[in-house]
Amino acid sequence: MCGEMPVVRKSGKSYDGYIGRAYRAQLLRSLSIDSNYIHPMEPQTQSNSLLVGIGVLLFVLGGLLGFALIPAPAQEQMVSDVMPEQEEVSTYAEQERTYLERIALPEPDRLGGMSVTQALAERRSRREFAEESLSLPHLSQMLWAAQGITSERGGRTAPSARDIYPTTLFVAVASAEEVAPGVYEYLPETHELGLLIEGEVGDAWNAITPQPHPQNAPVTLFVNGNVLKPVERYGTEGARRVTYLEAGHVGQNLYLQAEALGLATLTMGGLDPAEARAFLGTTQYDEVLYLVPIGYRAAEVVDGEE
Ligand SMILES: Cc1cc2nc3c(=O)[nH]c(=O)nc-3n(C[C@H](O)[C@H](O)[C@H](O)COP(=O)(O)O)c2cc1C
């Protein structure tokens, strides 16, 4: 049972999405478990903690002794293996990018549609897609539901811990009205698509997921978490937690919006994040958490259950 999550305070410098090497090391140290913490329901862990503490101490002393016996150049090599040389690290969202093309999306509907209650009552994971291009208004509406800006200060349709917004949406278009096949980034600030890769994902899907749904859907979203972005506020473990939780909110928004529009969709965690990262060309601090195929429902499927 681990202790309370250490609260990592913001550093002296203002939050700009980048962290230096020393501060990063401090964050990692701050994640060590407090060995004095005893969960009130588990008093027997007290003696276990003592034994574990002695074990850890012996392990660390042994490690230090072993390390001291290694020649200095080899020590430097080992340290640089775990601590990258560069002072600054960044996620995909923080890098300067140019797009091959920018496509303005139509204004989303902010008022109409099915009631939230009805969408909740009818929501299902739907895996059978009609062979029909996704219309531009429907694509626009889905992207807005996932990450659209809805307030002057930049608030979005999905909540975000401390307004950090670690989510990036990549949009793989196989067949959509007025949008050429390609992989785009959704740009919430301007409600546009920015073209990154021309052409369909095609056979590259086979490496990303063994499931057929993205290959059958006209559009598939990659919901990407920039897991380093919240680290300065939340520490490494907390950053993962808030990034993953945010992706859950985004997924439910997509489900409910799809239901209201009569579309088929599902969130798919069954993917290989390393392959997805390699395909998208994102950084080691980015993680694709879901794939979200979107399309029209195949006529014969009534409630989407497999
Ligand atoms: C985190 C998560 C990961 C999921 N991954 C997959 C997946 O890889 N493939 C799939 O077909 N469905 C996936 N699903 C959908 C679930 O199978 C589905 O939600 C479940 O069967 C309940 O059905 P319902 O969504 O229609 O209520 C996932 C759902 C969640 C929440």
For residue 196, tell me if it sits in a domain: yes
Residues 170 and 263 placed together within one structural domain of the fold: yes
Residues 81 and 25 placed together within one structural domain of the fold: yes
Query: 126 CA to middle of ligand 1, Å?
Result: 9
Residues 18 and 70 placed together within one structural domain of the fold: yes
Residues 137 and 84 placed together within one structural domain of the fold: no
In DSSP terms, which residues pair with 142 in a beta bridge?
A: none
For residue 303, tell me if it sits in a domain: no
Residues 50 and 101 placed together within one structural domain of the fold: no
Q: Calculate the CA 115 to chain-centre distance.
A: 28
Q: What is the mean pLDDT of residues 293-302?
A: 83
270 lines ligand 1 (CB under 6 A): yes
Domain boundary among 50, 70, 89: 89
* Nearest atom in ligand 1 to 211's CA: 9
Instruction: Give the number of C-alpha atoms closer than 13 A to the C-alpha of residue 297, restricted to the C-beta side.
Output: 18
Ligand 1, atom 17: nearest CA belongs to which residue? 125
Question: How confident is the model at residue 78, as a pLDDT?
Answer: 36
Indicate the pairing of strand 102-104 with strand 192-198: antiparallel
Residues 74 and 106 placed together within one structural domain of the fold: no
For residue 251, tell me if it sits in a domain: yes
pTM of the model: 0.74
252 lines ligand 1 (CB under 6 A): no
Residues 144 and 44 placed together within one structural domain of the fold: no
Residues 69 and 97 placed together within one structural domain of the fold: no
Residues 34 and 117 placed together within one structural domain of the fold: no
If one residue of 124, 125, 254, 272 were mutated to test the ligand 1 pocket, choosing by the most ligand atoms within 8 A of its CB, it would be: 125
Query: 267 CA to middle of ligand 1, Å?
Result: 6
62 lines ligand 1 (CB under 6 A): no
User: Which tens digits make up the pLDDT trace of 176-215?
Assistant: 999 999 999 999 999 999 999 999 999 999 999 999 999 9
With contact defined as beta carbons under 8 Å apart, do 144 and 157 qualify? yes
* Nearest atom in ligand 1 to 251's CA: 31
Would you place residue 92 in the very low, low, confident or very high pLDDT band (cuts 50, 70, 90)? confident
Domain boundary among 89, 104, 120: 89
Structure tokens at 88: 């600054």
The residue segments making up the domain with residue 17 are 1-89
124 lines ligand 1 (CB under 6 A): yes
